[in-house]
Amino acid sequence: MNQGFRPAGYRGPLACVIGAGPSGVTTVKRLREHGIAYDCFEASDNVGGNWYYRNPNGMSACYQSLHIDTSKTRFAFEDYPVPEKWPDYPHHSEIFQYINDYVDHFNLRETITFNCKVIRAHRDTDGRWSVTTSNGVTGYYDILLVANGHHWDPRWPEPAYPGHFNGEQIHSHSYNTPFDPIDMRDKRVLVVGAGNSAMDIASELAQRSIAKSLVVSMRHGVWVFPKYRKGKPSDKGMLPTWVPEKLQRKLTEWAFLDTVGPMENYGLPTPDHKPWQCHGSLSTEFLLRAGSGDLKAKTGITRLSGDTVHFTDGTSQDFDVIIWATGYKISFPFFDQKEFQADQENRVSLFKRLLLPDVPNLFFIGLAQALPTLVNFAEQQSKFVVAYIKGEYAPPPRDEMVATMAADDEYYLSKYYRSPRHTIQLHFYHYAQQLQKEIERGKKRRRSAPAVAFTSSLERLDPATKAA
C-alpha cells in the first residue's frame, strides 16, 4: 500500500484527499509541489474516476462510445498540454490515458492508496478529521479535501411515476453499449431526459440497425447546440468575460438561431426557455437523427401501465426498455454529519465553491458544472487551497463570505430555470478570474489579519506510516 506524501522533516498540517479522478490528482499534484503532506485514497485500482470505462468501483458513468463535449484545448491541464495529434473531441480512452500520463509525469501514483474506499469521515470536537477506510484503518487529519465527483449517484425520478412498467429499465449511469447491460436490438426504447448523456445514448440507439424505435421524453424542450460552428469547435467561439452577461445571452441566442434554427424544424418540441437558461446540450448527431426521423420526441411522463407509457400531451406508446437519463445526486456517503451533505434540492452552499464558512479545514474540489471545462476548474481551485493551507491567505469575515456566496449564486444561477441539475453551474473563465482576485485579496488581508492556523496530526499516526 502506498504511504502518501511526507516531506522530510515536515511538521505541518496533514491533509486527506478523497478520490483520484481528475480533480483529485490535480489537487495532490499541487499539494506535493508545495511540500504539504497528504494521503489520497481511491476506491478503484487506478486513477481516472469518471473517465475510467468499466471502472471496477462502479462509479463511472462512462459508456463505450463516449467522446468529451469540451474541445481538447479547453479540457487540458494548464501545465500539461494534451497531445497535438488528438482530434477536436477525444474519445474517453484518450482522456483516461492522458490522466494516467499526467499522474506518472508528476510522480503522483506512488502517493495514492488504491483499492481503498473512504467509508467514514467525521469532524471531531477538536476540529480534526477522523477518516476510516475500507481496509479498516482510521487516520487523523487536519484538513479534508473532497474530490469524489458528482456523476456517480444516479438520480431516479422523484417521486416515482405512478404505475408499473413490465419491460426492462436502467439508469443511463449503467449504460455501456447497445448490447450491455441490455441488448437493445429490435427493441422499442424510451430515453427519458434531454441532457448530453441522453442525447448521446439516444443517437446511438436510434440507428435503424439497432433499436426498432427510439423515443426521447423531454419535460422541457431544449436547445441542442452543435459541436462545430464554422468548422471549429463551438466552445472556441465563447465570448470573453468582459462582455456584459445580458449581451452575451443576446449574441448567443442570435448566433444559435442563425446557425441551427428553431428546434421545431427538427421535429423537436419548442423550448420553454432561452438558450443557456439550462445546462447546454451539445450534439450534432442528435439533430441529424431527429431530422431524419430516426428518433421521435415526446413530452413528459404522467404514468406507467404495463408495457405502456402515458405522456403529458395525452398520448401513450408501448415500449420494451426505458433508459432513465435523469441526472445525478450530489452525494458524500462517507459523511456521518448532516451539515456536510447536500440538501434535498442538490445544493451545497460554499464560499467560492470550495468552503463552508464555519469549517475552515474542509474543501470541496471540482464540485461544479463548469462551462466549458471541469479539469482546469479543479486546477484553479487547488491554487486557492495551497495558499490557504500555507497561511498565505486569510479568509474574509463570515458575513462577507455569506454575502459573496449570495452574489455568486445570483451571477451564475439566476439565468437558469430552477432544477436540481442547475445548482452547481458556473462560467469557468469568470470564476477563475474572480478566484484569483480573491486569493490576492486574501494575501492583502493576511498582512493585517491572522491566517487560519492548521495543527499537525502527524504525531497521531502510527510510526510505521511516517516516511523519511
CA distance 22 to 148: 10
User: C-alpha angle 50/53/56, rounded to 5°?
Assistant: 85
Q: Dump the DSSP string for 264-302.
A: GGGTPPPBSS-TTSS--EE-HHHHHHHHTTSSEEE--EE
For each of the chain's 468 residues, which pLDDT tens digit applies? 567 999 999 989 999 999 999 999 999 999 999 999 999 999 999 999 999 999 999 999 999 999 998 888 888 899 999 999 999 999 999 999 999 999 999 999 999 999 999 999 999 999 999 999 999 999 999 999 999 999 899 999 988 999 999 999 999 999 999 999 999 999 999 999 999 999 999 999 999 999 999 999 998 888 898 888 888 888 776 767 777 777 777 887 788 788 889 999 999 998 888 776 777 788 989 999 999 999 999 999 999 999 999 999 999 999 999 999 999 999 999 999 999 999 888 889 999 999 999 999 999 999 988 877 777 899 999 999 999 999 999 999 999 999 999 999 988 888 776 777 778 888 888 899 999 999 999 999 998 887 788 888 875 544 334 333
In this prediction, residue 419 carries a pLDDT of 75
- Classify 449 as helix, strand or coil: coil
Neighbours of 420 (CB within 10 A): 18
- Classify 180 as helix, strand or coil: strand
CA distance 343 to 185: 40
Q: Dump the DSSP string for 390-414.
A: TT---PPPHHHHHHHHHHHHHHHHT
Domains along the chain with CATH numbers: 14-153+329-465 (3.50.50.60), 156-326 (3.50.50.60)
Neighbours of 293 (CB within 10 A): 10
| Helices (H), ranges, 130-189 | none
> Judging by DSSP bridges, how do beta strands 321-324 and 168-171 pair with one another?
parallel
User: C-alpha angle 158/164/169, rounded to 5°?
Assistant: 75
In this structure, the chain runs to a length of 468
Grid cell, residue 267, equals 421535429
Check if the beta carbon of residue 369 is closer than 8 Å to that of residue 426: yes
Q: Mean pLDDT across the chain, nearest whole number?
A: 91
In this prediction, residue 411 carries a pLDDT of 86
In this prediction, residue 369 carries a pLDDT of 82
- Which amino acid appears at position 233 of this protein? P
Neighbours of 257 (CB within 10 A): 12
- Summarised one tens digit per residue, pLDDT across range 37-85 is 999 999 999 999 999 999 999 999 999 999 998 888 888 899 999 999 9
CA distance 385 to 350: 14
Contacts 24+ apart (CB under 8 A), 237-244: 238/372, 238/429, 240/429, 241/427, 241/429, 241/430, 241/433
Nearest of 146, 65, 191, 198 to residue 364 by alpha carbon: 146
In this prediction, residue 18 carries a pLDDT of 98
In this prediction, residue 460 carries a pLDDT of 54
In this prediction, residue 459 carries a pLDDT of 59
> Judging by DSSP bridges, how do beta strands 369-371 and 425-427 pair with one another?
parallel
Nearest of 35, 37, 28, 39 to residue 3 by alpha carbon: 39
- pTM exceeds cut of 0.75: yes
398-413 vs 428-446: helix crossing angle, rounded to 10: 170
